[in-house]
Structure 1
Amino acid sequence: MKKSTRIILIITLIVLFIAPLYMNKGAEFGGADGAAEDAITENNPWYEQWFEPIIEPASGEIESMLFASQAAIGAVLIGYYFGFKKGKTHVNN
């Protein structure tokens, strides 16, 4: 891949990540869990949870950090698997 193509792709990626933040300056970016809870409550106000969380994070920031850590660990494992498979095919050829 040419260097200019890489630079264009990196700039495009940065714009895709930053543009929504400027387009929706006062917006709240909530998670899917909160949206699902709101939809369930709206459709069935008498719904009761089956169980309570075992551990409740002390704050939203800690909850976000745990979620991001889980995503990072998953990405590392998937990346390792694909890298291992790619390396294995180069050794066999």
Structure 2
Amino acid sequence: MSTNSKTKNKLRNKNLILLALTIILIITPLLLNSSAEYGGADGEAEGLITEINPDYKPWFSSLYEPPSGEIESLLFSTQAAIGAGFIGYYLGRKKGEKK
């Protein structure tokens, strides 16, 4: 077995271990806290503001209100994926320029 082949195997094993750890980190909170309701910071902030000042009236309303929570989650995750894509592209481009 050549040195290049050993290096590729080590890298592959390292990547598989990192993938397994990532999956464990994602699934563990879901298993440990199965009865919890997951919500965003917006809902928490709205509840706290209403508690502090019950007469508060928002000064701005959304331009588009999704018809369901699932659509809202889809739009949010799409936005996050696009942002992550741009950041990954930028970092990869900068690393490529250094080489």
Structure 1: how far apart are the matches of 2:45 and 2:54? 13
Residue 17 of structure 1 aligns to a residue whose secondary structure is: helix
2:22 is matched with which residue?
13
Aligned residues: 90
1:80 maps onto 2:96 in alignment: no
TM-score where L is the length of structure 2:
0.82
Q: Displacement, 1:88?
A: 0.9
Instruction: Pick the aligned partner of 1:50 from 55, 59, 67.
Output: 59
- Whether 2:69 is the aligned partner of 1:64: answer no
Structure 1: any 5+ residue segments left out of the alignment?
none
In the TM superposition, structure 1's runs of 4+ consecutive aligned residues that sit over 6 Å from their partners are none
> What is the aligned-residue RMSD (CA, Å)?
1.5
2:4 equivalent in structure 1: none
Shift of 1:46: 1.2
Quote the sequence identity (%). 56
Find 1:89's aligned residue among 75, 78, 98.
Answer: 98
For normalisation by structure 1, the TM-score amounts to 0.87
State how far apart, in whole Å, the 2-side matches of 1:35 and 1:21 are: 20
In structure 2, how many angstroms separate the alpha carbons of the residues matched to 1:8 and 1:81? 26
Q: Secondary structure at the match of 1:52?
A: coil
1:18-77 deviation line (CA, Å, top 9, x unaligned): 011111111111111111111111111111100211111111111111101110110011
**Which structure 2 residue ranges, 5 or more long, are not aligned?**
1-6
